[in-house]
Every structure is written in C-alpha cells, then in structure tokens.
C-alpha cells in the first residue's frame, strides 16, 4: 500500500497539468472570503450575475496560470517553493479573513508585520492549525514529491500568451460587467488570494521607503 502511494506521489506530472490542478485547487480552497463579500451583490438569477461570478473565477485562474508559466523559466524547485509558500500564506490569510471579517489591504499588511509574539499567541486557535494542515501541509507534501516535466520553452510561451489573449477577450466580451467590478474593486481586491497580500505587501514597503526619505532644503535625499 505504501509502495503504491509512493509511486503515485513521485510519478511524472506534466507542467501544464500541474498548473491546471494547482490553479483549480487554490480557487476552490481559498475563495471563500471573496465569495462571502461578492455573492450578496450578485443576482444569480440573471445572466449578468452569472457572468460576474464566472469572471471572478476566470480572473483568478488566468492570473495563477500566467504566474506559474512565467516562473517555469526558473528551476522546478523554485516553482514548487512558490506554490508551497502561497498555500501556507493563503491558508493563514483565509482563516483570519473569515474569522475576523477582515480584508487584506495595505493597512492590514502593516498590522500583520508589526504584530508581536504576545499578540500572535492571543489570536492563535486550533482551527488555524487544522486549516494549515489540510490546505497547506498535505498538498505541499504532494507538490514536493512530484516530478514536474516541463514542455519546450516555446510551448510554455505560447500557452502564456494564449491565456493572456483569452483573458483579454473575456474582459471585452463581458464589458457590461465593468461598472459592477469598478464599484466593488476596492473590497474585492482585498479578498482575492494570493494577489491581495502580494500587491499590498509591495505597496506597504514602497510607502515605507518613500516615507523614510525626506527631501532636505539643499535638495539632497536623506534617509
């Protein structure tokens, strides 16, 4: 039995199949915070509402697929490491977002980075450990055991642009939903994992760097 499982976990996995499976898993496992906000504002009985819901899924899958295709230019362990880090970060973020009805914006990133050990112990809960185990540890072990087989570089490049063109085509075909997305973009953006904390972490450090630089009267930048 163990031998059979071991062979299953280490069998060769095509890169495109891995990307499809990983994007699908992260979509199903970590979009609860996003849907918790979006669904009350979507009329699922109308065509427009169904398209709005579908667009949320299409955007998430396309962004993850393009990111992993771009990372495929690097060694396979880098791809695996990125995927594993995202799983752990998503699991923790999704738990706190649903538990405290929070959104990950730039301010939240600052609060997280400045949280001390005492505060961390106060918000620790066994449910968090269970979520990390189910949605991060177990799939990470599977990912690390996989032998990912990459196709030729031009195939990966072609698939990347195919996904990009498909995303742009979808966006223009569903242009009638743009006003809805524009209205809810600030709240939606803080709930889309992992892009909410990736983008807002970059914004936080950029703001911190700018705030740390002061223009002197002589025009020389001082840190």
Encode pLDDT of 57-111 as tens digits: 999 999 999 999 999 999 999 999 999 999 999 999 999 888 888 888 777 777 7
pTM score: 0.85
Range of the domain at 59: 2-222
Instruction: Give buried/exposed letters for 13-46 (b at 16+ CB in 10 A, else e).
Output: bebbebbeebbebbbebbbebbeebbeeebeeee
* Segment 127-180, tens digit of pLDDT: 888 999 999 999 999 999 999 999 999 999 999 999 999 999 999 999 999 999
| Overall domain count for the chain | 1
């Amino acid at each position: 039995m163990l031998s059979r499982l071991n062979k299953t976990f280490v069998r060769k996995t095509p890169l495109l199949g891995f990307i499809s499976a990983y994007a699908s898993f992260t979509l199903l496992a970590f979009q609860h915070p996003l849907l918790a906000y979006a669904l009350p504002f979507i009329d699922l009985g109308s065509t427009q509402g169904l398209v709005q819901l579908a667009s949320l899924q299409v955007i998430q899958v396309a962004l993850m697929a393009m990111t992993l295709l771009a990372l495929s230019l690097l060694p396979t362990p880098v791809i695996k490491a990125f995927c594993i880090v995202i799983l752990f970060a998503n699991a923790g973020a999704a738990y706190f977002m649903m538990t405290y009805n929070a959104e990950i914006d730039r301010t939240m990133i600052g609060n997280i980075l400045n949280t001390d050990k005492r505060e961390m112990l106060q918000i620790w809960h066994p449910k968090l450990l269970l979520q990390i185990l189910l949605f991060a540890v177990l799939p990470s072990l599977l990912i690390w055991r996989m032998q990912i087989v990459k196709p030729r570089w031009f195939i990966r490049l072609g698939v990347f642009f195919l996904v990009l063109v498909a995303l742009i085509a979808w966006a223009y075909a569903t242009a009638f939903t743009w006003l809805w997305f524009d209205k809810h973009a600030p709240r939606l953006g803080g709930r889309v994992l992992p892009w909410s904390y990736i983008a807002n972490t970059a914004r936080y450090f950029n703001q911190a760097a700018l705030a740390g630089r002061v223009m002197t009267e002589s025009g020389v930048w001082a840190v």
